[in-house]
Amino acid sequence: MKTIRWGIIATGNIASKFALALNYEASRSNSVRLAAVASRDAAKSARFAEQWGCARSYGSYAELFADPEVDAVYIATPNNLHVELSIAALKSGKAVLCEKPVSLDASSLLPVIETARQEKRFYMEAMWMKCNPSFQKAMSWIQEGKIGAPRYLRADFFLDSPFNPESRLYNPVLGGGALLDLGIYPVTCAHAAAGKIKPDAVSSIIKNAPTGVDSYNSSHLVWKSGFTADLSSSINLQGIKESRSAFIIGESGSIVLPYFWMAEEAILTGSDGAVLEHAKKPFECNGYEYEIREASLCIESGATESPVQTWADSIMVMEILDQIRTVAAYE
Ligand SMILES: NC(=O)c1ccc[n+]([C@@H]2O[C@H](COP(=O)([O-])OP(=O)(O)OC[C@H]3O[C@@H](n4cnc5c(N)ncnc54)[C@H](OP(=O)(O)O)[C@@H]3O)[C@@H](O)[C@H]2O)c1
């Protein structure tokens, strides 16, 4: 088996979590290795390399893209840079795992996918929730008809981040806003539960922060099948334990996914409320190991996309996010 040599682009919060998970994966098999890291700042990059035991560090992203001893890159910059850096990496011959959201809207994602297709390189949105065993268990219960036809889904993602116009979450230049950063999880959850079918009707309400990005959004998605989803997200609301569960009600049962975007358990109940199955799968490391495993297996096999998070999945979710903003009543 080939060892996939990973490079990390940017040295922020999520890059460190990814490095921890990558080193965990490297410790359990020869499938992956942390080969290089790049930052806009050479000193930051060197510090990150030292912390995570990575052989080479660069003071620009372009230098890492030019490194012939890197097979795959993980892009962990603010949202506004995802398209440009994904295209640059693919054109340099790298496989790409790019943080969510992979673009700021659906139309700007298309050139990335076209580049992956032309270059015959692997490209995947780092939608770690879809690679998570508990999330996958819940989706398999739906597919196996364990709750009958799904009728209703509720999922919220609230985070109380102090207002700072320069921060990644509030700065429009960096692609901030609750919908792009957090709302993508409830929407992806509903998209998966609906069998990857686009909703037939969307309505929404959005509240903007003073910088013009949304601080809160609430949307109602309706499918002709009779399935509806109530979804919301906010960057200035305190999430509480109860608000962090997604629940899916079907004709003959229901599913609860506590902390659905980072679930370590899934609960299946019958229509009488009795628990039929309580699947528990604590993370082996920090939860990012599953997306690394999925991407590395695909790259090793020569695949250009992952069946878990396909290019079509990313496009459709971005289209739904676009629609939520287009139809929104702004408060
Ligand atoms: N999957 C998840 O669970 C998860 C969780 C949080 C965030 N994310 C996603 O991961 C990405 C990064 O989020 P994060 O929380 O890691 O952000 P962060 O801590 O702010 O780090 C972002 C990094 O991007 C680089 N960068 C490049 N241009 C920048 C600019 N103009 N301003 C600020 N930083 C810039 C910086 O690294 P250098 O200075 O080293 O170049 C910075 O450290 C986002 O797309 C976000 O949606 C995913």
Q: pLDDT tens digits, the chain, 331 residues: what are they?
A: 799 999 999 999 999 999 999 999 999 999 999 999 999 999 999 999 999 999 999 999 999 999 999 999 999 999 999 999 999 999 999 999 999 999 999 999 999 999 999 999 999 999 999 999 999 999 999 999 999 999 999 999 999 999 999 999 999 999 999 999 999 999 999 999 999 999 999 999 999 999 999 999 999 999 999 999 999 999 999 998 888 999 999 999 999 999 999 999 999 999 999 999 999 999 999 999 999 999 999 999 999 999 999 999 999 999 999 999 999 999 8
In a shared domain, residues 169 and 218: yes
191 within domain boundaries: yes
Q: Same domain, yes or no, for 305 and 203?
A: no
Is the CB of 5 within 6 Å of ligand 1? no
**C-alpha 71: how far from chain center:** 21
Q: For residues 95 and 286, give the distance between their C-alpha atoms in angstroms, rounded to a whole number.
A: 23
48 is a domain residue:
yes
State whether the beta carbon of 12 lies less than 6 angstroms from ligand 1: yes
Other CB atoms within a 10 A radius of the CB of residue 200 amount to 11
Question: Which mutation among 11, 13, 188, 314 tests ligand 1's pocket best, with the greatest number of atoms within 8 A of CB?
Answer: 13
- 78 with 195, same domain: the answer is no
Atom 30 in ligand 1: which residue has the minimum CA distance?
Answer: 78
* Residue 154 backbone phi and psi in degrees, to 5: -125, 125
Residue 316: inside a domain, yes or no? no
- Please list the alpha-helical segments (H only) found in the chain: 13-28, 42-52, 61-65, 82-91, 106-119, 128-131, 133-143, 178, 184-193, 289-301, 311-327
Residues 144 and 278 grouped into a single domain: yes
On whether both 73 and 163 belong to a single domain, the answer is: no
Give yes or no: residues 12 and 32 share one domain: yes
CB 89 within 8 A of CB 65: yes
Number of H helices, E strands in the chain: 11, 15
Distance from the alpha carbon of residue 79 to the mean position of ligand 1, in angstroms: 8
In angstroms, rounded to a whole number, what is the distance separating the alpha carbons of residues 129 and 137?
Answer: 12
- Residues 68, 136, single domain; the answer is no
- Contacting residues for 225 by C-beta, under 8 A, at least 6 apart: 149, 194, 197
- Whether residue 236 sits in one domain with residue 153: yes
Residue 315 falls within a domain, yes or no?
A: no
In a domain, 59, yes or no: yes
User: Domain of 174?
Assistant: 130-282
- How far does the centroid of ligand 1 lie from the alpha carbon of residue 226, in Å? 38
Beta bridge partners of 56: 36
Give the number of domains in the chain.
2
Domain check: are 252 and 305 in the same one? Answer: no
* Euclidean distance between CA atoms 303 and 4, whole angstroms: 13
Q: Whose CA is nearest to atom 31 of ligand 1?
A: 174
Of 121, 140, 142, 79, residue with least CA distance to 306: 121
Tell whether ligand 1 has an atom less than 6 A from the beta carbon of residue 41.
yes
Check which CATH number belongs to the domain holding 29 and give it.
3.40.50.720
Rounded distance from Cα 78 to ligand 1 centre (Å): 4
Q: According to the model, what pLDDT value does residue 331 have?
A: 80
In angstroms, what is the span from residue 19 Cα to ligand 1's centroid? Answer: 14
Q: What pLDDT, on the 0 to 100 scale, is given for residue 1?
A: 77
**Judgement on whether residues 16 and 82 belong to the same structural domain of the protein:** yes
Which is the closest atom of ligand 1 to the Cα of 174? 31
Do both 144 and 86 map to the same domain?
Answer: no
CATH number, position 134: 3.30.360.10
